[in-house]
């Protein structure tokens, strides 16, 4: 057996804006094992159910993460709505899905930029993030916030979007799509992108399924799992089909996200075209009793929101299981056998969100 060396990777590393640590066991330049450590900034948000009322937790859940804040809020909201037997107005469901898919576009553009940055393609990184700003501007115009929106409420949404604003969103998305065509072409065809991603961090379909991976991470290995396939909210009306790639490497995971940006843009246009008239919220009475687990397909994958109510204003338990939580075992598998130089790209390829994980 060759001599083994252990190299610590993180918790502070140029490709990681947030802390995760890996002990990389190397034989020469090859990684034979990766042992993860998380929990450097665990916030214990779930514990706040003892002090905060279930309505106040709305503001806590959207602070789990600064990228997919809307989805966390929506998932929690949906779980409470089930316990209170609340039927959300159709227009509110359309608005929720529109904002959620806009969140996916901005999250994937952010990730594509980070991937480009990880292998030194600085101009591509800047273009991705420049394009992303357009989505953040739309968030600001429609919700008042660029990161935290506070637009959901139990029973619907706080804000409506005017027909003029819907037209503006449609126009901005259409213009953005033209610019995105050029960026997508680079991610799909450029030789320097392929050199750093094709065949790197490969995980088979069987292994990805066995490791319970979720999101574009799983779909990049051919596992067609996507919570939107249940047709919940209005996804059934939108004719949603998951995007799947079979490669199982970093390139396949990138391709899934590149194509999902197009898919989300199309869904947003369809939502705007079919937006029904009507109320955006209903009055909610009562205190949550019973238990339920809601699931939302966040940009990084399936997120779970378990709530247990006892008929009082305080829940007995709230549990959030985020996509990065469950994709850590996949990452460990993807790193085994790779070259040391590929570690940053592989780590990024699961789109790790430690803020979510350290809820």
The footprint of other proteins (CB under 8 A) covers 35, 37-40, 42, 44, 47, 50, 78, 82, 209-212, 225, 227, 229-233, 290-293, 295, 302, 304, 306, 308, 316-317, 319, 321, 325-326, 328-330
Of 87 and 133, which has the nearer Cβ to other proteins? Answer: 87
Going 233 to 234 to 237 to 240, the CA torsion angle's sign is negative
Query: What is the C-alpha to C-alpha distance for residues 5 and 23, in angstroms, rounded to an integer?
Result: 10
Of 103 and 333, which has the nearer Cβ to other proteins? Answer: 333
The full DSSP string for 1-13 is -PPEEEEEE-SSB
348 contacts: CB under 8 Å, gap ≥ 6: 15, 111, 114, 115, 118
Closest approach, Cβ 294 to other proteins, in A, equals 8
Q: What is the pairing mode between strands 301-310 and 289-298?
A: antiparallel
* Bridge partners, residue 307, by sequence: 292, 318
Radius of gyration of the chain (CA): 21
Of 50 and 140, which has the nearer Cβ to other proteins? Answer: 50
Closest approach, Cβ 108 to other proteins, in A, equals 23
Closest approach, Cβ 87 to other proteins, in A, equals 11
78 contacts: CB under 8 Å, gap ≥ 6: 294, 296, 305
Residue with tokens 């699961």: 350
Of 183 and 307, which has the nearer Cβ to other proteins? Answer: 307
User: Would you say 260 and 105 are in contact if contact means Cβ atoms under 8 Å apart?
Assistant: no
Of 200 and 211, which has the nearer Cβ to other proteins? Answer: 211
Closest approach, Cβ 211 to other proteins, in A, equals 5
Exposure string (b/e) for 284-297, b if CB count within 10 Å is 16 or more?
eeebbeebbebbbb
Closest approach, Cβ 232 to other proteins, in A, equals 3
Of 180 and 306, which has the nearer Cβ to other proteins? Answer: 306
Of 14 and 44, which has the nearer Cβ to other proteins? Answer: 44
Closest approach, Cβ 213 to other proteins, in A, equals 8
Peptide bond into 11 cis (omega under 30): yes
User: Would you say 255 and 130 are in contact if contact means Cβ atoms under 8 Å apart?
Assistant: no
Closest approach, Cβ 101 to other proteins, in A, equals 17
């Amino acid at each position: 057996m060759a001599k083994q060396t252990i190299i610590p990777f993180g918790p502070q590393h140029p490709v990681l804006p947030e802390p995760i640590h890996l002990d990389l066991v190397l034989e020469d330049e090859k990684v034979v094992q990766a042992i993860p450590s998380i929990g450097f900034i665990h916030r214990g948000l779930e514990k706040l159910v003892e002090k905060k009322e279930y309505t106040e937790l709305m503001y806590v859940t959207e602070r789990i993460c600064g990228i997919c804040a809307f989805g966390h809020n929506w998932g929690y909201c949906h779980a409470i709505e089930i316990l209170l037997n609340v039927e959300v107005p159709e227009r509110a469901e359309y608005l929720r899905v529109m904002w959620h898919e806009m969140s996916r576009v901005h999250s994937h553009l952010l990730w594509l930029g980070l991937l480009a940055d990880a292998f030194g393609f600085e101009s591509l990184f800047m273009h991705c993030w420049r394009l992303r700003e357009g989505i953040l501007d739309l968030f600001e115009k429609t919700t008042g916030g660029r990161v935290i929106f506070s637009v959901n409420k139990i029973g619907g949404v706080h804000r409506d979007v005017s027909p003029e604003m819907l037209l503006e969103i449609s126009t901005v998305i259409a213009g953005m799509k033209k610019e995105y065509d050029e960026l997508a072409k680079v991610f799909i065809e450029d030789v320097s992108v392929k050199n750093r991603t094709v065949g790197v961090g490969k995980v088979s379909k069987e292994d990805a399924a066995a490791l319970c991976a979720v999101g574009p991470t799983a779909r990049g290995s051919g596992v067609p799992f996507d919570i939107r396939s249940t047709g919940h909210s209005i996804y059934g009306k939108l004719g949603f089909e998951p995007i799947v790639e079979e490669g199982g490497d970093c390139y396949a995971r990138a391709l899934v996200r590149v194509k999902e940006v197009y898919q989300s843009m199309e869904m947003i246009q369809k939502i705007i075209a079919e937006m029904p008239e009507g109320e955006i919220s209903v009055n909610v009475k009562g205190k949550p009793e019973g238990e339920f687990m809601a699931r939302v397909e966040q940009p990084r994958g399936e997120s779970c929101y378990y709530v247990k109510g006892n008929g009082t204003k305080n829940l007995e338990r709230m549990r959030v299981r985020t996509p990065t939580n469950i994709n850590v075992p996949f990452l460990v598998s993807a790193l085994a056998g790779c070259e040391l130089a590929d570690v940053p790209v592989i780590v990024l390829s699961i789109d790790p969100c430690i803020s979510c994980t350290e809820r």
